[in-house]
Structure 1
Amino acid sequence: MASKTIINRYKCKQVGGNVTVITYENTSIMFDYGYAFSSSKIGSVDYDFKRNHIDAVFFTHFHYDHVGRFHLIPKGIPMYMAPVTKRHIQYKNPDGAAKYDEFITTINQGDKIKIGDIEVIPFLSDHSALGSFMYVVKTPDMNIVHTGDFRLHGYMAKTLYKNLKHDILMACDGNVDTVITEGTRIIDYPHPDITTHGMQLKAEKIFKKNKFAFFYVTEIDPESISAFYNAAKKYGMNFFVDKKIFEPVSMYVPFGKEIDERYNYEDIICEDDIKLSEDVLRKGFVYLISINDNCLNEIYKFKKFKPVFIFSERQDYLIPFMGNYKSNIADFYNKAMKVCKKSYFMHTSGHASRKELRIMLKSLRPKKVVPIHTDYPLLVSLLSRPYLKK
């Protein structure tokens, strides 16, 4: 007998801006509604909510390619998201969040949300966005797992391993019919992933030998920030955050503490003009910068102390003619390196490697795989074949 469950994907042959809709008879639920990246040739989804009814929208995490267009969803449609995701949209789009507040419900791991004939259960995942979810979706004739963006090399890897090997399977009664999975890094050159903990250990070695360090990572990556914070605290160093990004960086702390103690960096110091005090000279510091002239001046201020610079983003941001080249970041980096004695590159990806995709598939053993969030869906399908349940 044919399944009555229908899975529709929208603009999923690209990284970012993907939308998935699962329908069972008269009930339809949507997963994510964000913006495509500026480099996209496909563009964002303009879903026709008038012609195609949606009963609820579930968000996997707070990155703007997944949640950025929440304010374009018609009022009255319930939205479900992690508490930290709600806090993030309140910061990024305060007017939109206020207008939609009555329609937003925060959810946590293991909650069971019933939407018509469909039951949805969130599970904590491992991603660069704090509080990311995988979802189990149960219809009367199908068990589906929506992975969202995930990896297996961050601080939350152990939690996700447990969820994949036990809790998610239990929620699916031991039988996963379909996995809807990201495949962002399906063509990455095979190399060992640096784990978040491994990045922390590397940072510790740097801070042991260098008293003054500036580093750059996006303010919406609280896990990488935590890794450098934990490394700095091992040596009693001050941890400064540029004033321009202090609010988004600090707002994650209350949520992070509830998930894992390693995310607790509540004694960070807001700074935009470091004084050469006895405390600073004795303890040293690690300074999370943003890309602006004031931070560049701070780096130049400490020229005689021979600071180091840590770049914790993709290296191709700095390489002209590469698809991800960012001229403002590259220009800042080049100017900073005129006074910094050395630079270090260490970045941990927010997405699953091919090896980690295989681990997920081997754990869940689905009958079918539906690729999303990838430029190469066919390659994801080919990789999946050996792990499909016959």
Structure 2
Amino acid sequence: MKIIIHRGIDQIGGCITEIATDNAKILIDLGQNLPDGEGIVNDDFANFDAIEQITKGIDVIFYTHYHGDHLGLFHLVPDSISQNIGKVAKRVALCKHQRLAFIKDRKEQSEKEIAKIEAMQSFESQQILKVGDIKIIPYFVSHSAYDSFMFLIEANGKRILHTGDFRGHGYLSKGLLPTIEKLILKQGKIDFLITEGTMLSRLDERVRHENELKSEVIELMKEYKNVFVMCSSTDMERLATFHAANKEMKARPFVCDDFQKNVLEIFSDSAGKKSALFDFGEPYAFWKENDKLIQWMQDKGFCMLVRATDKFNDYIEFLLPLLEKDKTILIYSMWKEYVNPKSKHANKKYLDFIDNFPKLSKIHTSGHASADCLADVCNLVNPKKGIIPIHSENSADYKKLPIKEKLKDKIITETKTIDDMIIEIKRTTNRQQRTELKNKQY
């Protein structure tokens, strides 16, 4: 049996993990590298030849969630290979790519992507899936993408837990440790834990629960009548924070565009049937000719979801002159480094967009597990043979976590064989990184 980390060691995003026996091979995620501050993606794997090589002999690809750094190369996969994703995650991914089809000169590409997503198989939490002699069981986790999963993989007498991306401070996070303890470990011990480590570079950062954010947003909404919100369009739990806060204001419309409205309808139709917190009701889709809505917004105030796009630049240019400046604010609820001009992660579109607003407030918490949460999962799982950290800028920093000393000795960041298991760690250097290295040398 073999575990191959094609990509994910010492980088965030672009995750690709292979698990293989003599009779079957699966991939967990086929992610694209994250874009730079200009929105440009540098990825040597983003071509048919590279993906044909990586997927050679693969029977099925399972996706932990719909973020591009886990799903982004799906459109390059040969049609002969089955691709599988969560039932609701499939709907969200399809909605997103249907919207991308409206971008100029992208229609043909989007049509191909939509066809690939429509052909994907979907699964639900705790559904038993089999690929040859490999058994896969998905378990729901809270993340900034709804319908995210960790996978329990069993084959050849070995048990592997692949966590995907997860967190312990969302509305839906309370089931994380009980799921591991009562559903996964009761079936038997785990041999290898493959887990994310996004927050390893921010070990001292205190993460806040979504409930804390909601309280802070309510106070801002009491102070400011006109509230614009810039956050992920598909982070259901964050969207619920703003929607719930806006309901406290009474009579204020919750406004978005038609794409966001479609995403919210998907969430209401799924999670909203289980909890009123995720029932977004009837949000109002904005357009400049909707005089009745605009008058309501001027009279009572509003909460409006916005994005850093040309369309929303046009909306903002139209709306701001109609509003009282001292009662207007933008709440930025994404990673702070995107709007830090001195950061290597700075996003020019984001910076230009937030400059439009008279007042800015940053209210955010990570979609990823804190250092303490990572340690809790490692200590609870207590794998017999190894911990393989991925989705982190420096996976060796896992040893800095407050985990048991014996577990620190089991952290695997280089290729090795343990008993009859081969753990192959591949380190890839993309084109941009190679150029930077070459410039440093000369």
Q: Is the contact made by 2:17 and 2:28 (CA closer than 8 Å) also made in structure 1?
A: yes
Secondary structure of 1:35's partner?
A: coil
Structure 2 regions of 5+ residues with no counterpart?
99-110, 411-442
Amino acid at match of 1:37: L
1:296 counterpart residue number: 316
- Give the one of 272, 279, 297 matched to 1:257: 272
Alignment of 1:143-292 (within 5 A): 143-170=159-186, 173-236=187-250, 237-243=252-258, 245-258=260-273, 260-273=275-288, 275=291, 279-281=296-298, 283-291=300-308, 292=312
Q: Name 2:6's counterpart in structure 1.
A: 10
Match of 1:355 in 2: 372
Deviation, structure 1 residue 51: 7.7
Deviation at 1:355, TM superposition (A): 0.8
- The reply on whether 1:92 has 2:92 as its aligned counterpart is no
Match of 1:343 in 2: 360
303 and 332 in structure 1: CA distance in 2 versus 1, 3 angstrom threshold: farther
Query: How far apart are residue 206 of structure 1 and its match?
Result: 1.6
- For 2:83, the equivalent position in structure 1 comes to 79
Partner of 1:321: 342
Comparing 82-91 with 241-250, which one deviates more in the overlay?
Answer: 241-250
CA deviation after TM superposition for structure 1 residue 204, in Å: 1.4
CA contact (8 A) 2:55 2:77 kept: no
Encode CA deviations 1:96-139: one digit per residue, 9 max, x unaligned: 35533675221111100011111100000010000000111111
Which residue among 140, 145, 149 is the counterpart of 1:133?
149
Q: In the alignment, which residue of structure 2 is the partner of 1:26?
A: 23
Match for 2:146: what amino acid?
Answer: L
Give the Cα–Cα distance (whole angstroms) in 2 for the partners of residues 373 and 261 of structure 1.
33
Q: Give the whole-Å Cα distance in 2 for the aligned partners of 1:206 and 1:78.
A: 47
Change over 3 Å in CA distance of 1:159–1:300 after alignment to 2: farther
Quote the Cα distance in structure 2 between the aligned partners of 1:58 and 1:73. 12
2:22 partner letter = E
8 Å CA contact retained: 2:201, 2:393: no
Deviation string, structure 1 residues 128-172 (Cα, Å, up to 9, x no partner): 0000001111112211110001110111111223212221223xx
Partner residue of 2:58 out of 54, 62, 73: 54
Matched, 1:309 2:325: no
Identify if the C-alpha distance between structure 1 residues 8 and 62 changes in structure 2 by more than 3 Å, giving closer, same or farther: same
Q: How many angstroms apart in 2 are the aligned matches of 1:306 and 1:102?
A: 45
Deviates more, 1:27-36 or 1:327-336: 327-336
Aligned residue type for 2:353: F
Q: Distance in 1 between matches of 2:213 and 2:24?
A: 44
Question: Aligned partners of 2:55 and 2:67: how far apart in 1?
Answer: 27
- Are the structure 2 counterparts of residues 109 and 301 from structure 1 closer, same or farther at C-alpha, using a change threshold of 3 Å? same
**What per-residue deviation string (whole Å, max 9, x for no partner) do you get for residues 225-257 of structure 1?**
111001111221211113464434444332332
Counterpart residue type for residue 10 of structure 1: H
Find 2:355's aligned residue among 331, 334, 341.
334
How many residue pairs match? The answer is: 380
With the length of structure 2 as denominator, give the TM-score of the two structures. Answer: 0.79
- Give the alignment partner of residue 389 of structure 2, picking from 371, 382, 385: 371
| Residues in 1 aligned to 2:347 and 2:55: alpha-carbon distance in whole angstroms | 39
Contact map agreement 1:36 1:43 (CA 8 A) in 2: no
1:260-318 Cα deviation digits (max 9, x unpaired): 43221132111133647664455421111122322322133213562122111122222
Secondary structure class of the residue paired with 2:233: coil
Which deviates more, 122-131 or 314-323? Answer: 314-323
SS for the counterpart of 1:162 is: helix
Q: Which sections of structure 1, spanning at least 5 residues, go unmatched?
A: none
State the partner residue of 1:104: 120
State the partner residue of 2:422: none
3-state SS of paired residue (2:167): coil
Match of 2:136 in 1: 120
Q: State the distance in 2 between where 1:306 and 1:198 align.
A: 23
1:17–1:43: 8 Å Cα contact kept in structure 2? no
Q: Give the TM-score, by structure 1 length.
A: 0.89
Contact between 2:225 and 2:327, CA under 8 Å: does it hold in 1? no
Higher relative contact order (CA 8 A, sep 6+): 2
Q: Secondary structure at the match of 1:149?
A: coil
Which residue type is aligned with residue 19 of structure 2? I
Structure 1 stretch displaced more, 94-103 or 210-219: 94-103
Task: Report the counterpart of residue 434 of structure 2 in structure 1.
Answer: none
Q: Deviations over 1:356-375 (max 9, x none)?
A: 10011122111210111111
Q: 1:284 & 1:185 partners in 2: Cα distance?
A: 37
Indicate if the aligned counterparts of 2:189 and 2:383 stay in contact, CA closer than 8 A.
yes
1: CA distance, partners of 2:335 / 2:114: 34
CA distance in 1, matches of 2:44, 2:213: 34
Deviations for 1:36-80, whole angstroms, at most 9, x for unmatched residues? Answer: 112377754734448831111100001011112112111122222
The code of the aligned residue for 1:349 comes to S
Contact kept? 1:371, 1:381, Cα under 8 Å: no
Tell me the SS of whatever aligns to 1:61.
coil
Q: Could you tell me whether the CA contact under 8 Å between 1:365 and 1:387 is conserved in 2?
A: no
